[in-house]
Chains A and B, each alone.
Chain A
């Protein structure tokens, strides 16, 4: 069965500092990988996704993530964090059964990001 681990429950950074959120996955084949962000009281919003090809993917709001098959990782990065980035971040792996089954997601437990001014 597929699984996703986000080792850090809570991360605090200063505004302007760089950020890396860790994600490790377990999946039997080439995974479909996603990062979603959830602001308080809001639904989830897709930041970026990896299906195939270039292992460094760019997303919205200045985020990027790198797929490393050898490490089963898909870490999220941002070079300079803004106060508005404070939210909860979820890594997820999608089923590769074809069609829209990629939306059948297994989520990590989430990482809460706090940004200090």
Chain B
């Protein structure tokens, strides 16, 4: 597709369940980023993949959060044993040859009941 695609756009889950959020970056973009946007914390960096290098996980808030990127393309963010404070919009972005520009998807809104 032409832009960054994220799914699902909305996810409602019960506390304690695991969720997976998917990001399909722009074709050819080597860098992929996950961010979280919440009312209380604003926009926060979570994790960053660059090519085949080990990901920068420095923004993950707890060990319940993990992410992988398969084949240098699609990425999945997994949240285990979800808590109510995990409710937020999770944004994915990718970056390619246009130095300094991140292209963001529309996000996955997660609601934990």
Chain A interface residues (CB < 8 Å from chain B): 32, 34, 36, 41-46, 49, 51, 90, 92, 94, 99-110
Q: When the two chains form their complex, are residues B45 and A106 in contact, meaning their CB atoms are under 8 A apart?
A: yes
Q: When the two chains form their complex, are residues A110 and B42 in contact, meaning their CB atoms are under 8 A apart?
A: yes
Decide yes or no: A105 and B100 within 8 Å by CB, A42-B106, A43-B105 being known contacts.
no
Q: Closest chain B residue to A44 by CB distance?
A: B104
Which has the most chain B C-beta neighbours within 10 Å: A32, A104, A109?
A104
Q: Closest chain B residue to A49 by CB distance?
A: B100
- The answer, yes or no, to whether B78 is at the interface (CB within 8 Å) is no
Chain B interface residues (CB < 8 Å from chain A): 4, 30-31, 33, 35, 42-45, 48, 50, 56, 58-59, 91, 93, 95, 99-102, 104-107
Contacts of A102 on B, CB cut-off 8 Å?
99-100
CB<8 Å pairs between A and B, sample of 14:
A32-B100, A34-B100, A45-B104, A46-B101, A49-B100, A49-B101, A94-B100, A100-B48, A100-B50, A101-B50, A103-B48, A103-B95, A104-B33, A110-B43
Contacts of A104 on B, CB cut-off 8 Å?
33, 45, 48, 56, 58-59
Contacts of B95 on A, CB cut-off 8 Å?
100, 103
Q: When the two chains form their complex, are residues A44 and B31 in contact, meaning their CB atoms are under 8 A apart?
A: no
Q: When the two chains form their complex, are residues B91 and A43 in contact, meaning their CB atoms are under 8 A apart?
A: yes
Contacts of A45 on B, CB cut-off 8 Å?
104
Decide yes or no: A101 and B102 within 8 Å by CB, A107-B43, A109-B42 being known contacts.
no
Q: When the two chains form their complex, are residues A103 and B4 in contact, meaning their CB atoms are under 8 A apart?
A: no
Q: Closest chain B residue to A94 by CB distance?
A: B100
Q: Closest chain A residue to B56 by CB distance?
A: A104
- Of the candidates B30, B50, B106, the one whose C-beta lies within 8 Å of that of A43 is B106
A34 and B104 alpha carbons, distance in the complex (Å): 14
